[in-house]
Structure 1
Amino acid sequence: MAYVVTDACIRCKYMDCVEVCPVDCFYEGENMLVINPSECIDCGVCEPECPAEAILPDTESGLESWLELNAKYSAVWPNITTKGTPPADADEFKGVDGKLEAYFSENPGQGS
């Protein structure tokens, strides 16, 4: 079992989760983060830290595609171990539906 980042992170990317992760399993895309499911130790400390409520356990139904997306992009995006600055308009995108189709970027982030 692992935790996954869902589309609620897209264009929000608050990064509070990065600060508490004991195994540094977050990877940064241009406008969202993902978790490497092979590195995640299922401790759950990241879930309550996310202001966008984008982190969920992969045991919840309907998250198979998110587990695949997290695995795919954690293999190519840079690892992030320290919190960066969220996008200036992050709060405007919090709670917006359909962000995967409208805003997802495959481009890597800066990493740390």
Structure 2
Amino acid sequence: MTYIVNDACISCKYTDCVEVCPVDCFYEGENMLVIHPDECIDCGVCEPECPADAIRPDTEPDAEKWVEFNRKYSEIWPVIITKKDPLPDAEKRDGEEGKLEKYFSEAPGEGG
């Protein structure tokens, strides 16, 4: 099993999770994070740290598409290991439906 980040992260990008990850498997896009599924050790410490409830186990229904999504972008975005401020509209966008279609950016973040 591994953990994935789903579209609940888009336009929020809370980074509380990266500080607790013992293997630095988070990668940063312009407006979301992803987890590299081959680097995640299934420890689960990141899941309760996410205020947007965007980190889920890959055993949940519909998770397979998110495993591939996370894999794709973790291979092109930079690693992030340091907590940063959430995006300016994070509180407003938290819980919003349809964020993948409305807001997702393929652009990389700064990492760090």
What TM-score bracket applies, with the shorter chain setting the length? over 0.9
**Unpaired runs of at least 5, structure 1:** none
The answer to whether the aligner puts 1:88 opposite 2:88 as a matched pair is yes
Give distance in 2, aligned partners of 1:67 and 1:102. 20
How big is the shift at 1:44?
Answer: 0.3
The match for 1:48 is 48
Moved segments of 4+, more than 4 Å? none
The answer to whether the aligner puts 1:4 opposite 2:4 as a matched pair is yes
Superposition RMSD on alpha carbons, in Å? Answer: 0.5
TM-score normalised according to structure 2 size: 0.99
Give distance in 1, aligned partners of 2:99 and 2:89. 14
- How many residues align? The count is 112
Secondary structure of the equivalent of 2:4? strand
How big is the shift at 1:11?
Answer: 0.2
Range with bigger deviation, 83-92 or 37-46? 83-92
Please give the per-residue CA displacement for 1:34-86, whole angstroms capped at 9, x wherever unaligned. Answer: 00000000000000000000000001111111111000000000000111111
Range with bigger deviation, 33-42 or 81-90? 81-90
The match for 2:36 is 36
TM-score normalised according to structure 1 size: 0.99
**Unpaired runs of at least 5, structure 2:** none
